C-alpha cells in the first residue's frame, strides 16, 4: 500500500505550489517581501525518498524509520507509529515559508532559540533523511502568535528566518502512537482471575469471588477493589510509553475471559512504574460469533493482540496506585513492630538522687 507515501507527497507538494506574493497588512504587521519561499525547497519534491526522521531537543531524540509502507519507532522495538502523525510532522516542516530575514550573527542566534548545539535545551533539530543522506536539517526556534510565525534556520547556514506556519511536533515517542490499546465494555467480561482468585459475573451483574489457588496472593481487603478496577482498566486500556518486551522478576498475571477470547495481562513492577504485556488468544472450546457486531468486537481484540505482540507498555501514573495496591500490596507489618527486639533496649542510668 502506497497511501502513506502518496499522502506525504501530496501535502508537501501542495504547500510548495501555493507560495504567493506577500503584501504587508495592518493585521499581520509583516515586513514587505518579494515572495514567500519554502525554507526547505527540496523536501516536497523528494517526499518519496524519505526513509527516516530524527527530531532532537536537549538530551532526547525521537527516531522514526520507514519499514516498507509503514513508519516505526526503532527505539521502541520498532513499534508501529501512526502515519497521520508522521505526515503532520513532515507537512509542518515543508510548510515553513520565509517571511523575513532575521539575524545572521552566530552569537545572536540564541536570542531566537536557534543556537545549535543548544545548552538550554529549547531549540529542536529536525533531520529528514534518505538513507544516510540528509534531505533537510532544520533548527527550530521560538514561536510567535497572532499571527502564527516560527523562527527557523537551516543547520548549515547562520541566516535566521521568520517563517509562516508553525512546527510543534515533540520528541516524546508516545505522541506518535495510538495510546489506546483496546476497549472492552464491562458487560463483555464474563470472568477474570487475579492473584489466585477468580471473579465471575452473575446474571444480575454482581461479582462473586472464589479462591482457585492454594495460596492466593490477592488480599481479602483488595478483592472488592479488584472486581471494580480490572474491568475499568480494560474498558479503555491506555498507555504512556512502549518498548520491546523483556522479563521482569516481579510480575503478576490477570487473565480475562470475554466470550470466545482470553486476554492475558502480564503486569510487571519496574521501579515506580507498571508495565503490561498483552496477549489475546482464541478459546478452543468456544464457538466463533456469527453476529456482525460480535464479529467486529472479536476482530478488534485479535488486532489489538497482534499489535501488542513482542512489546510492553507503561501504564499511566493514575492507574499505578490502584493496581499496585491490588497486585503488589505492601507486606503486613509484624505484630510486634512497635516493640524493640530483645536485647536492644537502651540502658538508662538514673541521675543521682533519683528515687
Query: What's the chain's average pLDDT?
Result: 88
Give tens-digit pLDDT for 199-242.
Answer: 999 988 899 999 999 988 998 899 999 999 999 999 999 999 99
330 pLDDT tier (thresholds 50, 70, 90): confident
Residue 333 pLDDT > 80 = no
In this structure, the number of other CB atoms found within 10 A of the CB of residue 269 comes to: 18
| Interval 71-94 mean pLDDT | 97
In this structure, the number of other CB atoms found within 10 A of the CB of residue 47 comes to: 22
| Full strand arrangement of the beta sheet holding 52-57 | 37-38, 97-101, 161-164, 149-154, 133-144, 124-130, 52-57, 60-67, 70-73, 79-80
Closest CA to 326 of 189, 190, 195: 195
Torsion of the alpha carbons at 130, 133, 135 and 138, rounded to the nearest 10? 130
| Interval 115-137 mean pLDDT | 97
Residue 193 pLDDT > 90 = yes
CA distance 215 to 197: 10
pTM of the predicted structure, to 2 decimals = 0.80
Closest CA to 156 of 122, 127, 113: 127
Residue ranges in the chain assigned as alpha helix (H): 3-17, 83-94, 223-235, 292-308, 317-327
Res 122: pLDDT: 97
Give tens-digit pLDDT for 164-184.
Answer: 999 999 999 999 999 999 999
Amino acid at each position: 500500500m502506497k497511501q502513506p507515501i502518496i499522502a506525504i507527497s501530496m501535502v508537501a507538494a501542495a504547500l510548495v505550489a501555493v507560495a504567493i506574493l506577500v503584501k504587508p497588512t495592518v493585521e499581520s504587521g509583516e515586513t514587505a517581501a518579494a515572495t514567500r519561499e519554502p525554507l526547505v525547497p527540496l523536501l516536497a519534491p523528494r517526499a518519496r525518498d524519505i526513509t527516516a526522521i530524527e527530531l532532537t531537543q536537549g538530551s532526547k531524540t525521537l527516531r522514526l524509520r520507514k519499514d516498507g509502507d509503514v513508519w516505526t519507532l526503532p527505539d521502541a522495538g520498532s513499534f508501529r507509529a501512526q502515519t497521520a502523525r508522521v505526515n503532520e510532522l513532515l507537512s509542518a516542516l515543508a510548510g515553513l515559508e520565509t517571511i523575513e530575514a532575521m539575524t545572521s550573527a552566530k552569537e545572536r542566534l540564541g536570542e531566537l532559540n536557534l543556537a545549535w548545539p543548544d545548552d538550554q535545551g529549547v531549540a529542536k533539530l529536525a533531520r529528514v533523511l534518505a538513507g544516510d543522506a540528509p534531505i533537510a536539517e532544520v533548527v527550530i526556534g521560538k514561536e510567535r502568535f497572532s499571527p502564527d510565525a516560527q523562527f527557523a534556520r537551516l543547520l548549515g547556514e547562520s541566516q535566521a528566518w521568520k517563517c509562516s506556519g508553525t512546527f510543534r511536533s515533540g520528541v516524546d515517542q508516545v505522541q506518535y502512537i495510538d495510546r489506546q490499546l483496546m476497549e472492552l465494555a464491562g458487560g463483555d467480561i464474563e470472568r477474570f482471575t487475579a492473584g489466585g482468585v477468580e471473579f465471575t459475573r452473575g446474571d444480575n451483574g454482581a461479582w462473586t469471588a472464589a479462591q482457585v489457588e492454594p495460596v492466593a496472593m490477592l488480599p481479602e481487603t483488595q478483592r472488592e477493589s479488584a472486581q471494580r478496577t480490572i474491568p475499568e482498566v480494560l474498558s479503555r486500556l491506555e498507555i504512556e510509553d512502549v518498548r520491546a518486551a523483556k522479563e521482569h522478576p516481579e510480575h503478576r498475571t490477570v487473565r480475562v475471559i470475554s466470550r470466545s477470547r482470553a486476554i492475558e495481562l502480564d503486569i510487571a513492577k519496574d521501579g515506580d512504574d507498571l508495565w503490561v504485556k498483552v496477549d489475546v488468544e482464541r478459546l478452543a472450546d468456544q464457538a466463533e460469533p456469527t453476529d456482525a457486531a460480535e464479529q467486529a468486537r472479536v476482530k478488534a481484540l485479535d488486532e489489538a493482540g497482534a499489535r501488542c505482540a513482542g512489546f510492553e507498555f507503561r501504564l499511566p501514573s493514575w492507574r499505578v496506585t490502584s493496581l499496585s495496591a491490588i497486585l503488589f500490596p505492601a507486606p503486613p507489618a509484624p505484630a510486634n513492630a512497635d516493640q524493640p527486639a530483645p536485647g536492644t533496649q537502651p540502658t538508662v542510668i538514673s541521675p543521682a538522687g533519683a528515687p
